[in-house]
A and B are shown apart, each in its own frame.
Chain A
Amino acid sequence: MLKGHLDMIVLAALSAAGPAHGYAVIEEIKRRSGGAFDLPEGTIYPALHRLELAGLLKSIWMTADSGRRRRVYTLTRAGNRALIERRAVWKQFSDAVGGLLGGTRPRENPA
């Protein structure tokens, strides 16, 4: 299930952390999820590359304090828009499932 939402998770982490390299994105995901997501860290990098190819992220290479080359990712405007859309879809889904499981009615869409 997590795999299907990996793109949204990565976009959300980058939105929260600001420009960040892969390791920082993973740390942000761990921190914000309370370590709930146990996926191989390496799977984040193909997701970052895929999102960049889709135009939702952009990246630049810089030199870290350690002297190593580091790729830093930033959300693009299209990425921000995609995140807003995915958040809305997720909220709707979560409300609907919450209503089913908890017996509460999901809030009506104001639109």
Chain B
Amino acid sequence: MIPDYLERLACELSFDRSLARNVRQEVEDHLWEAVAADPTGNMLAAQQRAIANFGDARAIAAQFAVISLARHSRRAGAAVLLVIASVFIAMKARIAWNAAAQLAIGEDMRAVSGLVVLIDRYAFWLSVIIGLGGWAYIVSRRIPAGFYPAHRKQLRRFFVLCCAAAAALVVSVISDGVLTALLLRGTELSAGFLVPVFSMAIEIVCVGILVFHIRGVARRTASTAALLNT
């Protein structure tokens, strides 16, 4: 009986495997302890009583889902900042390498590159400002006991901020890609190419990680809402 209940609880929390595992172990300890403390000595009745006293698996899972969502939103907020910092480091490393290797954009493309640099700069700093704002917003919110309308509104705002920061960062990375392509255009293929190409790959992977985190928050929000609505 207790294993069935634990299975149901873990199944309801399947959207967060580590939470499901931890909650399962914690609840298992609780239920068996309650059975051991039951004065009747009737094993089956004691298990029934322990489960009944513990509450409906779906209702308990819904409360955990709200906390899981809060935890992942905070993580996503921190991920935005980490990703932006990583892109900045990759960008600076590439610029330093280009200077050391005396790589420069050809005269014919100077005007275009000047415009792209401007877009790159504004887009990057916009992502920094929005990312910082999103992180500060989410960490300053109280962790709610339920999925209340006010909390949903906060999550929506945070989601919009994350998407805006990611969009600005994507523009910045695309601009970096254009600049790198302009820089390497017409240059003979050599080992020196590896550094700019590798730094661009790091930037693209960073953006991918950010999108993954934002998608994770969206999915968890949907799972939590589904748990509470049914």
Contact = CB atoms under 8 A, between A and B. Distances in A.
Interface of A: 3, 6-7, 21-23, 26, 40-43, 45-47, 49-50, 53-54, 64, 66, 68-71
Given A6-B145, A53-B143, A45 B27 contact: yes
B143 A70 contact: no
Contacts of A23: 29-30, 33-34
A interface secondary structure, majority: helix
Interface string B123-162: 0000000000000000000110100000000000000000
B23 interface: yes
Given A50-B143, A53-B143, A54-B143, A42 B29 contact: no
Contacts of B90: none
B67 interface: yes
B22 A71 contact: yes
Interface residues of B, number: 28
Contacts of B32: 66, 68
B40 interface: no
Nearest to B26: A71
B60 A69 contact: no
24 contacts: A21-B26, A21-B29, A26-B30, A40-B59, A40-B60, A41-B34, A41-B53, A41-B55, A42-B55, A45-B26, A46-B63, A47-B145, A53-B67, A53-B70, A53-B71, A53-B74, A54-B142, A64-B29, A66-B33, A66-B36, A68-B28, A68-B29, A70-B26, A71-B26
